[in-house]
Amino acid sequence: MFGYVPLGLAFGVLFAQLDYAWYYATLMGLIVYAGAAQFLAVGLLGAGAGLVEIGLATLLLNARHVFYGLSLAPRFPPRGASRLYLMFGLTDETYALLASRKPPPAVAATRFYLLVTALNQAAWVAGCTLGALLGGALSIDTRGLEFTLTALFVVLVVEQARAIRDPRPFLIALVSGAVALLVVGSEHMLLVALGLAMLLLFLGRRRAYA
């Protein structure tokens, strides 16, 4: 759970290189609250990317979250502010925690979910803030720190590989990614590759059940 403090720290330090005030990193942790998307945004903001591009990249990067809610939706409270906050806070790590652990018998489920989500976000916001303060104050050689993003994704792939035990989705992604890189180049690779991967997954399922 407290993995979000050091990850947030790394984000904050990177963010500080953009020369914006530190409290914008806090604001991002509070209202965006998306680890990978925030890392990606540092690069986009640094390049002065357009708002449409930033929005699209965020949508694509977080598209995986669409599927997190499926298994959890029946367990969340049916309406109200609790449901809204739980939806808002459904990050990779929070999803992994909520999907894998049952609330202790003495605690109401909603309370437990809210507590886990809020603690995760508190750790993240604290990390972002501290990192931005430190990054602005110290002169550290941060070359290579952007690899945090790749390392995060590698860890997520390993976790998926342990859970799925089926090479097909990974091979489909490798093929889709390679084709997209060759056909449309690196800039629009993600959108095209995701679409291609979804098509291949869809075709694969039809064949499997035919």
- Cα angle 185, 204, 206 (rounded to 5 degrees) comes to 135
* Single-letter code of the amino acid located at 39: F
CA dist 92 and 95 (Å) reads 5
Show contacts with other proteins in window 178-197 (CB under 8 A).
Answer: 181, 186, 189-190, 193-194, 197
Identified binder of other proteins from the candidate list 122, 134, 152, 179, rule CB under 8 A: 152
Q: How far is the CB of 105 from other proteins (least distance, A)?
A: 26
Q: Which is nearer to other proteins, 69 or 101 (CB)?
A: 69
* Single-letter code of the amino acid located at 8: G
CA dist 117 and 97 (Å) reads 9
Q: Which is nearer to other proteins, 138 or 181 (CB)?
A: 181
Does 97 bind other proteins (CB under 8 A)? Our answer is no
* Single-letter code of the amino acid located at 79: R
Does 7 bind other proteins (CB under 8 A)? Our answer is yes
Q: How far is the CB of 68 from other proteins (least distance, A)?
A: 7
Does 112 bind other proteins (CB under 8 A)? Our answer is no
Q: Which is nearer to other proteins, 36 or 130 (CB)?
A: 36
Are 176 and 197 a contacting pair, CB within 8 Å? Answer: yes
Are 160 and 35 a contacting pair, CB within 8 Å? Answer: no
Does 207 bind other proteins (CB under 8 A)? Our answer is no
Does 101 bind other proteins (CB under 8 A)? Our answer is no
Show contacts with other proteins in window 8-47 (CB under 8 A).
Answer: 10, 20-21, 24, 27-28, 31-34, 36-38, 41, 44-45
Q: Which is nearer to other proteins, 79 or 102 (CB)?
A: 79
Does 154 bind other proteins (CB under 8 A)? Our answer is yes
Identified binder of other proteins from the candidate list 97, 109, 119, 173, rule CB under 8 A: 173
Identified binder of other proteins from the candidate list 115, 137, 157, 203, rule CB under 8 A: 157
CA dist 152 and 156 (Å) reads 6
196's tokens: 């291609």
CA dist 82 and 52 (Å) reads 30
CA dist 10 and 144 (Å) reads 11
- Cα angle 79, 30, 41 (rounded to 5 degrees) comes to 115
208's tokens: 């499997």
Q: Which is nearer to other proteins, 99 or 106 (CB)?
A: 99
